[in-house]
Amino acid sequence: MSTASTSFIDRRTVVDWLGIAPFMIFAMMFLILPTLYLVTGAFFTPDGQFTFKNIADLFTPSILSAYWISIRVSVASSIGGAVIGFFLAWAIVMGGLPGWIRSGLLTFSGVASNFAGVPLAFAFLATLGRTGLVTVLLRDWVGFNLYGTGFNILSFFGLTITYMFFQIPLMVLILTPALDGMKKEWREAAEILGASTWQYWRMVALPILWPSLMGTTLLLFANAFGAIATAYALTGSSLNIVPILLYAQIRGDVLHNANLGYALALGMIVITGVSNILYILLRIRAERWQK
Amino acid sequence: MSFLVLEHIKKSFGQTQVVKDFNMSIEKGEFVSFLGPSGCGKTTVLRMIAGFENPSDGAISINGKNQNKLKTNQRNIGMVFQAYALFPNMNVFDNVAFGLKIAGMNKAEIDKRVKEMLKLISLDHLADRYPYQMSGGQQQRVALARALAPKPQVLLLDEPLSALDAKIRVSLREEIRQIQRQLGITTVFVTHDQEEALSISDRIVVMNAGRADQIGAPSEIYNRPATRFVASFVGTLNMIDATVADPAANTVKVGENTVKLKESIGALKGGDKISIALRPEAGSLSESAKGDTSITGTVVLSHFLGSVIRTKIDVGGNLISFDMFNSPDTVQPQPGETVTLRFNASDFLIVRD
Amino acid sequence: MKASKALAWFAIAIGVIYFFVPLIGTFEFSMRMRRGAYSFDAYQSVFSDAQFQSTFGFSMLMALFTIIFGMLLVVPTAYWVRLRLPQMRPVIEFLTLMPLVIPAIVIVFGYLRLYNSSSWIPFTGSIQGTNMLLVLSYITLSLPYMYRSVDTAMRAIDVRTLTEAAEILGAKWPTIMFRCIFPNVMSGVLSGAFITFAIVMGEFTMAALLNRPAFGPYLQLVGANRAYEPSALAIIAFAITWFSMGLLQLVSRFSKMAPSKA
């Protein structure tokens, strides 16, 4: 293009790379290095010797049970969120409803998916706690004693349905564009070739949507796995999920081994990392088909 | 015996009447095109035959059987869409086999039939490919095979070539016509491209604002258009404002020229305004051309288009487009030149709106 | 098709119940402070609480800094990548998505280890330093949203062509940046800003572990100690989120009305 000397071109290239230096420095300092520090720290003893002991120690009953509860809560809330979210997204895209319902639901989902953390816990406590509105109404109107059945908002089930308050909207937001991409001609082609509604869904629609459904569920899973604020405010330390354990470890070294804390963090990163990689792979697959 | 019959078909969407009293009888094995601009209702009529829309009024019958109450998946009709609509999660083989699977055919029969269809469209080597790995033309051929596999009684094509490149369009329309002939299947083909319709149809229905303006063979539509719309939509047409000269002699005045017409002027009197139409390829500049009438005018401009030379001639305020074939000894008319075109009286059409 | 429409309405009904009942329940609970009658006493208590005012103000300040410094980092970077280093885009995008993958608690754990008072950059050695670290952590948390909304806005206005046009007309890069690019990506900047605001106001983990008097930890404290104020705060928090998202919708609708690219 230009007939400049090689030194000019070099300077231009240097300037180019300089331009993203601030961002790279930021990412280094506040994203990569802290994570790397923890990840490498997991493989060392407090005295500085390389070891796999910390990883092995993760498999002790108390820590394993923390991971297991985390996984169970995340799986439950992600599947619950996925199923309900899918039906809602289907309803607004293909259900033949008036247009304002769609925009209303999408707007609300945008808000609700961000309404997590401590206030969400308060909301569910106020609604389904021992003196919550729904509990009281069920007792006064229908004579149904909710807490008598053994239900308790401060429990695995309570945390799951609380999480679903932001999981469902997230599913709706991500799945709606995928459903929009379902061409109506596919449905018509299936129909004219003799397929019933059920056959269309079984042989055409669900197979096409499956990567998006699966991928988004994984995203929801990772989302729930890393969350702490809601759980902390709702169930405190009574439900010993991994983030709560890590919180206690950071605050007060309850594990009496800083490096074990690093291993805990490493375990979290591995789980959320793998889920996200699978999500990306599935999304690439989905997009390739929907050309 | 008419195979596909549409009687007094009307369709309204809310307040808008999209199809107004459409009538048509199609013979078995016939290839009929619905031709018209966007919004004329041609696709709506097609979709009513398929069952995607229900007529507001009127009856559709195939082989004597009324279709109105039948759902789309009960009508045994094949359809090819503009957007191909191949199922992206299935390969070519499974796409073509889809209708057969639904019908409950056994595996061996399906296998045989699909292979047959793939051979028909010359794509048997691509049976394992997925839609995203194929070109538009290939996808559309697979869509055709998929539609024909269950041996439907009628084949519908909704602007199947509009999304394809020009060269593919020409070769694919030939292929469609050839397969249709081979199978002898009654076919309705919707298009807005008049060249497509003219080249492959047995009959053409020219539609305008929800109505069939003319139904006839391609040559009839082109040479004897029934209305101004048909005349202007099919082929290029010069519309000339003339005044009646002598009703008894069937002559009109175009600028300073007196032009003899073949058609009877009818009830109009001398001095009345009249519109006549003229095809650009009609007439000749040659001195030795025979003809019973002529027009003299001034050349405004002339384009060399390769095989054709297109000249615009001013005749009494009318700008007439005149096409002539290019040959080595053709002299291209120059702007400002005075030229005389010789015609036959039958070259002119009286256009009544 | 009637059956599917009924099913659709049913799904919507479930959604409405799931979303509105907790909100109604919270509101109702927040009104119960005075015995025997509904009142706004809980809200009064909250608003007159000095700690509410100070932590709310603190978080708002943090949000402001996060947005300003975050955008100063993100906008030029997004612009530069689009213009000069398109090959780095996948890398940058990957980095901006990292905060969505790595849980916040892990990130702040890393900060505490790396930048505590006995390490090479002792952020946590002072109040100001810790506040800085908090803002930086917030920028990290909202990086995905800020970058994506700015990048989308830049893609929509085709920054490359815009810059070339400005260059041909003789503009120098500060002019280009501030008079051509910034105004046109304002919608993206504002969108990112509103999401960031909502995130920072409600954030708990970073603030709690860095021991800063932010709104999130305050909420948790009230929840542990009071009965009715928490639900009033929940309603307030929801209103803030709704307010931010509402502004975001407004902005995005505004930008849709602006002339789109050719």
Residue B329 has pLDDT above 90, yes or no: no
CA B145 to CA C59: how far, in whole Å?
A: 65
Sheet with B211-216: strands ordered across = B77-80, B154-158, B186-191, B31-35, B203-208, B211-216
Amino acid at A87: F
Mean pLDDT for A61-80 is 91
B249 phi, psi to nearest 5 deg: -90, 0
Sole residue written with tokens 């019959």: B5
Q: Distance between alpha carbon B191 and the CA centroid of its chain, in Å?
A: 6
Instruction: Tally C-beta pairs within 8 A across A and B.
Output: 71
**Mean pLDDT, residues B217-234 taken together:** 86
What is the structure's pLDDT at C200?
92
The distance of A222 to chain B (nearest Cα, Å) reads 27
How does pLDDT run across C48-58, given as a tens digit for each residue?
889 899 999 99
Cα C233 from Cα C204, distance rounded (Å): 14
**Residue of chain A whose alpha carbon sits nearest to that of B97:** A193
Other C-beta atoms closer than 10 Å to the C-beta of C99 total: 20
Distance (Å) of CA B293 to CA B316, B342, B346? 16, 6, 10
Distance CA B48, CA B152 (A): 16
Q: How far is A203 from chain B (nearest CA, A)?
A: 9
Question: What is the pLDDT at residue B134?
Answer: 93
pLDDT at residue A290, as a whole number: 63
- Residue C28 touches partner A, C-beta closer than 8 Å: yes
Which chains border B (3 or more CB–CB pairs < 8 Å)? A
The arithmetic mean of pLDDT across residues A27-45, rounded, is: 89
Nearest to A291 among B72, B132, B147 (CB): B132
Contact A204 B132 (CB under 8 A): no
Task: Report residue B157: phi and psi, to 5°.
Answer: -130, 120
Question: Chain A contacts of B87, Cβ < 8 Å?
Answer: 186, 189-190, 203-204, 208
Share of chain A above pLDDT 90, in %: 36
pLDDT value at position B262? Answer: 81
Q: Which of A182, A184, A186, A193 to mutate to test the interface with B (most CBs of B within 10 A)?
A: A193
Of C256, C177, C16, C257, the closest CA to residue A87 belongs to: C16
Sign of the CA dihedral running B101, B105, B106, B111: negative
Q: How much is the pLDDT for B288?
A: 75
CA dist., res. C133 & res. C139, Å (int)? 10
Question: Mean of the pLDDT values across residues A164-188?
Answer: 91
Residue C201 above 60 pLDDT?
A: yes
Question: Could you tell me if A52 lies within 8 Å of chain B, comparing CB atoms?
Answer: no
Give the pLDDT of residue C146: 92
Residues C104-116 have pLDDT tens digits of: 999 999 998 888 8
Q: What pLDDT digit, counting tens, does each position of A229-243 carry?
A: 888 888 887 888 899
The domains located in chain C, with CATH, are: 55-254 (1.10.3720.10)
Q: Helices then strands (H, E): number in chain C?
A: 13, 0
Give the bridge partners for B320, in sequence order. Answer: B313
**How far is the alpha carbon of A212 from chain B, nearest alpha carbon, in Å?**
13
Is the pLDDT at A134 greater than 50? The verdict is yes
* Predicted pLDDT of residue A2: 47
* pLDDT for A141: 87
At B21, phi and psi to the nearest 5? 50, 70
The subunits that touch chain C, with at least 3 C-beta pairs less than 8 Å apart, are A
Percent share of chain A, pLDDT over 70:
95
Tell which residue, C26, C232, B172, B102, has the closest CA to residue A193. B102
Cβ distance of C230 and A125 shorter than 8 Å: yes
Per-residue model confidence (pLDDT) at position A4: 46
Q: Does A189 touch chain B (CB under 8 A)?
A: yes
| Mean pLDDT, range C182-202, rounded to an integer | 86
Residues 6+ apart with CB under 8 A from A217: A78, A79, A82, A171
Mean pLDDT of C7-12: 92
Res A7: pLDDT: 52
Average pLDDT value for residue range B138-158: 95
Record: contact C29-A20, CB cut-off 8 A? no
Give A-chain residues touching C249 at CB under 8 angstroms.
107, 110
Note the pLDDT of residue C256: 61
Secondary structure element (H or E) that encloses residue A57, with its range: helix A53-57
User: With an 8 Å Cβ cutoff, is C17 touching chain A?
Assistant: no
Helix (H, G, I), strand (E, B) or coil at A41: helix
CB contacts, 8 Å: C112 with chain A: 250
- Taking an 8 Å cut-off on Cβ atoms, the answer to whether C106 and A91 are in contact is no
- The mean pLDDT value for C155-178 works out to 82
Q: pLDDT at position C260, please?
A: 45
Query: Which has more pLDDT, B54 or C124?
Result: B54
Report whether pLDDT(B212) > 50.
Answer: yes
- Can you give the pLDDT at residue B203? 95
> Hey, are the CB atoms on C204 and A118 less than 8 Å from each other?
yes
Cα C194 to Cα A46: distance, rounded to the nearest angstrom: 43
What does the pLDDT average to over A74-78? 95
pLDDT at B36: 93
Q: Per-residue pLDDT averaged across C242-253, rounded?
A: 81
Compute CA distances C180 → A126, B68, C153, C185, C252, whole Å: 50, 61, 13, 9, 19
**Preferred mutation among A183, A187, A192, A213 to probe B, highest tally of B CBs within 10 A:** A192
DSSP A183-234: -HHHHHHHHHTT--HHHHIIIIIHHHHHHHHHHHHHHHHHHHHH--HHHHHH
Query: b vs e for B156-182, b when ≥16 Cβ sit within 10 Å of the residue's Cβ?
Result: bbbbbbebbeeebbeebbebbbebbee
Helix (H, G, I), strand (E, B) or coil at B262: coil
Q: Do A127 and C216 touch (CB under 8 A)?
A: no
Give me the amino acid identity at B299. V
Confidence of residue A47 (pLDDT cuts 50, 70, 90): confident
Per-residue pLDDT for B37 more than 50? yes
Cα torsion A261, A267, A270, A273: sign: negative
Distance between CA atoms of residues B100 and C172, nearest Å: 67
Q: What is the C-alpha separation between A131 and A117, in angstroms, rounded? A: 21
Segment holding C79, helix H or strand E: helix C50-83
Closest by CA to A172, choosing from A50, A85, A63, is A85
Greatest mean pLDDT among A144-148, B77-81, C26-30, C209-213: B77-81
Q: Could you tell me which of C46, C10, C101, B131 has the C-alpha nearest to residue A91?
A: C10
Any idea what DSSP says for residue B333? P
At residue C261, the pLDDT reads 42
B64: phi then psi, degrees, rounded to nearest 5: 85, -10
CB contact under 8 A, C104 and A226: yes
pLDDT at B15 over 60: yes
What's the rounded mean pLDDT across residues A20-38? 91
SS3 assignment, position C40: coil
CB-CB neighbors (< 8 A) of A199 in chain B = 102
How confident is residue A206, by pLDDT bands cut at 50, 70 and 90? very high
pLDDT of residue C262: 37
Residue A5 — φ and ψ, nearest 5°? -75, 165
> Once rounded to an integer, what is the mean pLDDT over residues B32-40?
92
Average pLDDT, integer, range A53-61 = 84
Neighbours of chain A (3+ CB pairs under 8 A): B, C
Phi, psi of B238 (to 5 degrees): -90, 125
Supply the pTM of this predicted model: 0.82
pLDDT > 70? residue A9: no
The CA distance from B140 to B51, in Å, is 22
Comparing CB atoms, the residue among A189, A194, A196 nearest residue B81 is A189
State how far the Cα of C194 lies from the Cα of B96, in Å rounded to an integer.
51
> Are the C-beta atoms of residues B207 and B40 closer than 8 Å to each other?
yes
Of A168, A157, A224, nearest to C15 (Cα)?
A168
Instruction: Give the three-class secondary structure for C238.
Output: helix
**The pair of three-digit structure tokens given for residue C103, joined into one six-digit string:** 């849980």
Tokens (6 digits) for B62: 């195939």
Q: Mean pLDDT throughout B302-320?
A: 88
Strand order in the sheet with B318-325: B318-325, B308-315, B293-304, B338-343
Whether residue A5 is predicted with pLDDT greater than 70 in this model: the reply is no
ipTM: 0.84
Decide if pLDDT at A114 tops 70: yes
Over residues B124-147, mean pLDDT: 93
| C189-217: average pLDDT | 89
CA angle B114, B118, B124 (to 5 degrees): 115
Tell the residue number behind the tokens 């708002």, with chain if given: C60
A116 contacts A162 by C-beta, under 8 angstroms: no
Mean pLDDT of chain C: 86
Cα separation values, A83 from A92, A213, C176, Å: 15, 9, 48
What does pLDDT average to over chain A? 87
Whether chain C lies against chain A with 3 or more Cβ pairs closer than 8 A is: yes
Q: Average pLDDT, stretch B305-316?
A: 89
What per-residue confidence (pLDDT) applies to A89?
94
Residue percentage of chain C with pLDDT more than 70:
96
